[in-house]
Amino acid sequence: MVRVEHIGLAEIQDPKLGDALERWYQLCGQGALYRREELGFGPLVGAPEILNGRSSVVATDADDPMNYVFAFFGGDFNVYDNSNFVARRMHELPDKDVVQVIVTCFQEAMAAREPLAHRIIGNFGGIDLSYNRIIFPTVNKLDKIDRLVTLSAEIERA
């Protein structure tokens, strides 16, 4: 069972998440979206806390969220036997309950068209884990959300 709590961006205490959120506002301004077509991922994803942290970039081009593709998966993600999910689709994740929770969070971020924060609590591949996550949506030339950059900070592991 996986539980999701919606938390305000102001409640984020982790310095890496705070730095990433500050960078977002520097690049996009308040209430604006990151334009990936113009800026690429460099300024947003090139940050050390994203490249070396629990992070992912998910391509949302497919109509069915179960077919969203992991375009990047951070190096510090040691659940599911350290599996690398790059170029794999959401429906290929091993735990279907977790997939549904993740997809719901992704859809909320896409509808909000701004960064959203969640606290995720559950069992992932036999590991009890709680973490905070921010989802950063990016838009293409057509102003359609085409990627979701996620950055997570672990709170507790048992």
**Between these two residues, 36 and 138, which has the higher pLDDT value?**
138
- Chain centroid to CA 50: 10
Fold category of 2-157 in CATH: Beta-Lactamase (3.30.450)
Contact 139, 157 (CB under 8 A): no
Angle at 32 between CA 103 and CA 19, to 5 degrees: 75
Q: Which of 59, 75, 27, 89 is nearest to 149 (CA)?
A: 59
**What pTM does this model have?**
0.85
Residue 105 pLDDT: 94
pLDDT surpassing 70 at residue 76? no
Tokens of 102: 């993740």
pLDDT in tens, 125-146: 788 888 899 999 988 889 899 9
63: Cβ–Cβ under 8 A, 6 or more apart, which residues? none
pLDDT surpassing 60 at residue 10? yes
- Domains of the chain: which residue ranges? 2-157
pLDDT surpassing 80 at residue 53? no
